[in-house]
Amino acid sequence: MNVICIGSGYVGSVTAAAFSAAGNHTTVIDVDRHKVDCINGGRSPIYEPGLDLLIQDKAGTLLKATDTYHDVHTADVVFICVGTPSLADGTADLSYVKAAARSIGEHLNAERFTVIVNKSTVPVGTSALVARIIEETSGLKAEEQFAVISNPEFLREGFAIEDLFYPDRIVIGTTNLRARETMKVLYRPFVEKLYHDEEMMRRLPISANKNEHKTVYFETDAKSAELIKYASNAFLAVKISYINEIARLSEALGSNVTDIARGMGLDSRIGEKFLQVSSGWSGSCFPKDTGELLATSQKYGKELTIVKAAVESNQQMNQFCINKIQNKLKSLNGSTIGILGLTFKPDTDDARQTQAMTIIKNLLQFGVRVRVHDPKGMYMFQRLHSELPIDYCNDAEDTADRANALVLLTHWKEYRQLDWNRIYHTMKSPYILDTRNFLPATALREMGFDYEGIGIG
């Protein structure tokens, strides 16, 4: 098929690469010329394990990028993958989606039935909205000459390739039978695992145990599909907020949250995933998606009090971490604190809306000198927060230099293998707060560190 992905960010670039790998002629459209040049040059515009490999392999043959919408004319399926950030009132900013819809409308082909897919995370009713915009700009009739459907994306950054090729479910939201037929054909290789380039698949970062993996292809109406996405993200956020609250209680009671999470997760109804403590969930998705869902529920007089509580609880988690540091150092003013991890999780360069941002801003208000490091996220963090007076360090060891405290916010695996002995001798006071209970606690304590995790009494 001729597939188009509008937006070459964390969703669009991976989606386009995956569809090209499945044998479709795929065009990425982005207004950002730098990203377009990256893809055409065979490079990934973002850091995502395995994506460079895939783009390098397909660029120039089945995959290309452009900053014009001309190819929409020949498309069978057009995926909208642009950003939907939060507005000040918490609702989703649909301006990028609307702009993309107008541009699609200007180039749609009256002779060809095109399926336009909302892959961006959008509020309920956006499929209908996009259809109206396209009708206005193209003069064509929705459902007859084109269809707008919902196909939310569930990939996780850092595992996007695996999630694209081996999704748990593919949700298709439309009652238009022609669109359903097109989507079924397009997704068939992903459901039946019919990837003709086996050699390439072997080189991608996909866990070995995928042979038995089952992907469920699930069809519903557009509104339900749109809400499935928000309901899923909010549910995961609730789960993390819950374990983080249990962590706070556990610490007060003298029990061990890592064991508690394990003991809970062994119940298959609960499951072990998303019970990892942290300084709170963050990133470009959970905060904005819980915000939008909550705002919509309030607008309709059906407030999701559980989601509201999860958001509040998450904010308390930041404060809980700051309090721990404050209790330890007594006075924050004039102290130096090293921060390990600026991204919202490991294996991504995405530094949008991270816990690090909140915690660093807080520490600066207390008069702390902040030194930071992240293996992949420094560039984006610095670009987003150029006003923050913090020291960007070349490596983690440097971050600890003469620090009164070292705080691990993101559990990059390389942080486990640091020269901890050297760090011990360079720190002013060897206090570590490990907000992910990730570092080798016993070994660090034996070295002389004052090591604290979260939720371990």
Catalytic residues: 285
121-140: contacts with ligand UGA (CB under 6 A):
121
CA–CA distance, 54 with 157 (Å, rounded to integer): 16
In terms of Cβ atoms closer than 10 Å to its own Cβ (0-12, 13-18, 19+), residue 181 is exposed
Q: In the set 80, 104, 149, 155, which binds ligand UGA (CB under 6 A)? A: 155
Q: Which amino acid, 234?
A: A
Q: Of 288 and 373, which CB lies nearer to ligand NAD in the complex structure?
A: 288
The DSSP result for 188-208, as a single string, is HHHHHT--S-HHHHHHS---G
User: Cα separation of 242 and 457, whole Å?
Assistant: 18
Q: Does residue 344 belong to the site contacting ligand UGA (CB under 6 A)?
A: yes
Two tokens at 395?
A: 């490596």
User: Which of ligand UGA, ligand NAD, none interacts with 7 (beta carbon under 5 to 8 A by kind)?
Assistant: ligand NAD
81 belongs to the binding site for ligand UGA (CB under 6 A): no
Q: State the binding string over 58-77 for ligand UGA (x if CB under 6 A, else -).
A: --------------------
Residue 6 or 236 with smaller CB distance to ligand NAD: 6
Torsion of CA 152, 299, 127, 163, to 10 degrees: 0
Residue type, 21: A
CB 134 within 8 A of CB 148: yes
Decide: 431 and 328 in contact? Cβ < 8 Å: yes
Segment interacting with ligand UGA (CB under 6 A) among 40-48, 80-88, 155-163, 417-425: 155-163
Cα torsion at 55, 61, 63, 69 (round to 10°)? Answer: 150
Q: How far is the CB of 286 from ligand NAD (least distance, A)?
A: 10
Q: Which residues pair with 77 in a beta bridge?
A: 3, 115
Q: How far is the CB of 243 from ligand UGA (least distance, A)?
A: 7
Q: Which does 324 bind (CB under 5 to 8 A by kind): ligand UGA, ligand NAD, none?
A: none
Applying CB under 6 A, among 240, 310, 337, 339 the residue interacting with ligand UGA is 240
Residue with smallest beta-carbon separation from ligand NAD = 9
Minimum distance, C-beta of residue 431 to ligand UGA, in the bound complex (Å): 22
CB of 70 to ligand UGA, least distance (A): 30
**From the list ligand UGA, ligand NAD, none, partner contacted by residue 377 (C-beta under 5 to 8 A by kind):** none
- Whether residue 409 contacts residue 435, with contact meaning beta carbons closer than 8 Å, is answered with yes
Polymer length of the chain: 457
The reply on whether position 276 binds ligand UGA by CB under 6 A is: yes
Report if residue 283 touches ligand UGA, rule: CB under 6 A.
yes
Of the pair 82, 372, the CB lying nearest ligand NAD is at 82
What tokens were used for 99? 């702009």
User: In what helix (H) or strand (E) does residue 267 lie, and over which residues does it extend?
Assistant: none
Q: Does 119 bind ligand UGA (CB under 6 A)?
A: no
In 193-285, which ranges are continuous DSSP H helix? 198-203, 222-253, 257-265
Separation between Cα atoms, residue 175 and residue 217, nearest integer Å? 15
Least Å from the CB of residue 237 to ligand NAD: 13
Q: Which of 454, 413, 414 is nearest to 432 (CA)?
A: 454
User: Quick one: 7 or 50, whose CB is closer to ligand NAD?
Assistant: 7
Minimum gap (Å) between residue 196 Cβ and ligand UGA = 27
Q: Which of 274, 366, 379, 392 binds ligand UGA (CB under 6 A)?
A: 274
242 sits near ligand UGA (criterion: CB under 6 A): no
Nearest in space to 311 (alpha carbons), one of 240, 226, 231, 411: 240
Binding site for ligand UGA (CB under 6 A): 121, 153-157, 233, 236, 240, 274-276, 278, 281-283, 285-286, 344-345
